[in-house]
């Protein structure tokens, strides 16, 4: 069993979709209200699912440690890091299904989750940070794992990024919610030069106690780092050393963590 529904701010179930053994669909014929959320129920804990909570966005491979998850509709007055088409209008198509064995076992970017958000504590991967520039959505941690690589500017969609508010102690945490085997890191720096600076060095600290130091360059392209394979549940990107004599504004457009399920 897998089931989708829309729940409002006052816990009223506003819509329920087709409930299937392996796939669920929901067509919601109403405008979203602040406080609405999408609820996905599964048949057992520890499921891998492929979801599309918004038909203007791509699908996402996620891990669900419990039996139910919630995705909160971004408030209409604060979603500049989403497409202007997203979550608008009177017709919304939502779908979810259990991932296939092939999708679960294949090599992939384990950090990618286009539906991550601050409120997320029920599905993974999840990004969080100890600082986000001015607390603005366009500089939130979740932007670094949303699969958007446009980095020639900064600010609203499609140029959202993780901004560190000039804080040398800024740290970004990626939680996978389960054990994974990782062997490659890819970083895409924001490259709105000359407005932006860049980092020459960054550390990746893993929850197994190990670490890697990455040497970075001034580039608009993804930078690839092969690392020793390790089994982890989370990592922290920190000790971000910016280049001298440049702008005070380095930022991260995307972090990719490549590997397989453990």
Condensed to tens digits (0 to 9), the pLDDT of residues 149-185 reads 999 999 999 999 999 999 999 999 999 999 999 999 9
Look at residue 135 and tell me whether its pLDDT is greater than 90. yes
For residues 158 and 150, the answer to whether their CB atoms sit within 8 Å is: yes
What is the Cβ-side half-sphere exposure of residue 199, based on CA atoms within 13 angstroms? 27
Q: What is the pLDDT of residue 204?
A: 98
Domain spanning 108-261, CATH architecture:
Sandwich (2.60)
Q: What is the pLDDT of residue 17?
A: 80
Q: What is the pLDDT of residue 222?
A: 98
Mean pLDDT of the chain: 97
- Rounded distance, CA 197 to CA 191, Å? 8
For residues 176 and 207, the answer to whether their CB atoms sit within 8 Å is: no
What is the percent of the chain with per-residue pLDDT over 90, rounded to a whole number? 95
Claim: this prediction has a pTM higher than 0.85: yes
- Rounded distance, CA 64 to CA 47, Å? 5
13: pLDDT confidence band, cut at 50, 70 and 90? confident
Helix, strand, coil percent values for the chain (each to nearest 5): 5, 45, 50
Q: What is the pLDDT of residue 175?
A: 98
**3-state SS class at 134:** helix
Look at residue 228 and tell me whether its pLDDT is greater than 80. yes
User: What are the domain boundaries of the chain?
Assistant: 2-105, 108-261
């Amino acid at each position: 069993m897998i089931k989708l529904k829309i729940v409002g701010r006052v816990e009223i179930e506003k819509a329920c979709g087709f409930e299937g053994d392996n796939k669920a669909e929901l067509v919601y014929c109403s405008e979203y209200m602040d406080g609405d959320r999408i609820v996905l129920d599964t048949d057992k804990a520890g499921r891998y699912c492929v979801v599309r909570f918004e038909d203007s966005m791509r699908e996402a491979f996620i891990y669900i440690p419990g039996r139910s998850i919630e995705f909160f509709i971004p408030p209409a007055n604060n979603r500049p890091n989403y497409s202007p088409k997203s979550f608008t209008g009177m017709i919304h198509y939502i779908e979810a299904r259990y991932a296939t064995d092939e999708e679960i076992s294949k090599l992939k970017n384990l950090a990618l989750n286009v539906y991550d958000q601050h409120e997320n504590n029920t599905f993974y991967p999840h990004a969080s940070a100890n600082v986000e520039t001015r607390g603005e959505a366009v500089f939130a941690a979740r932007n670094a794992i949303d699969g958007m690589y446009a980095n020639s500017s900064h600010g609203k969609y499609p140029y959202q990024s993780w901004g560190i508010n000039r804080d040398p102690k800024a740290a970004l945490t990626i939680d996978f919610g389960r054990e994974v085997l990782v062997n490659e890191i890819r970083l895409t720096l924001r490259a709105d030069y000359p407005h932006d600076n860049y980092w020459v060095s960054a550390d990746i600290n893993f929850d197994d106690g190990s670490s890697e130091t990455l040497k970075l360059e001034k580039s608009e392209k993804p930078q690839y780092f092969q690392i020793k394979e390790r089994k982890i549940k989370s990592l922290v990107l920190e000790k971000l050393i910016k280049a001298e004599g440049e702008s005070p504004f380095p930022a991260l457009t995307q972090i990719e963590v490549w590997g397989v399920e453990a």
